[in-house]
Amino acid sequence: MNGKPGISPKSITRAKEKIRQITRRNRGVSLTQVIIELNLFLMGWLTYYRFAACRFELQCLDEWIRRKLRCYRLKQCKRGSTVAGFLKKLGASPSLAHRVASSGKGWWRLSLTRPSHQAMSADWFGIQGLKPLVLKYDSFKH
């Protein structure tokens, strides 16, 4: 880290625990509300670590958060037909959307599939209101 402070693994673990609490799949809260809560927590957490050299860790955390949110959103669909319709509506190919929807894998596994990434891309999350940590971190540096 070239003598620059970083974020300790313990702190990232604590942050992930808090994110897990916010994105629990059985909360019964809209995705918009979850994103608002996440943004509040993450912006405060990132402001604390704004002087740390941690861009790579933040990129990894961003990807993990988006996967958690994909999982949350897929679980809200509940049934295969709803999942397929949701993915198709957001631009995933119909055959792949149906394959994902009829899969017996769990929500966490499904959140890593190509159709769910195509449908719920980083840009889509930006439209939903999720603020990327890396962009905020870069704005601190300039």
pLDDT tens-digit readout, 76-108: 998 999 999 999 999 999 999 999 999 989 999
Name every residue whose Cβ is closer than 8 Å to that of residue 25 and which is 6 or more positions away in sequence: 71, 72, 75, 107
pLDDT at 2: 64
pLDDT (tens digit, 9 = 90+) per residue, 26-49? 888 999 999 999 999 999 999 998
Q: What is the pTM of this model?
A: 0.92
Residue 142 pLDDT = 59
Residue 111, judged by CB atoms within 10 A of its CB (0-12, 13-18, 19+), counts as buried
- In the prediction, which pLDDT does 28 show? 87
Q: Return d(Cα 54, Cα 67) in angstroms, integer.
A: 20
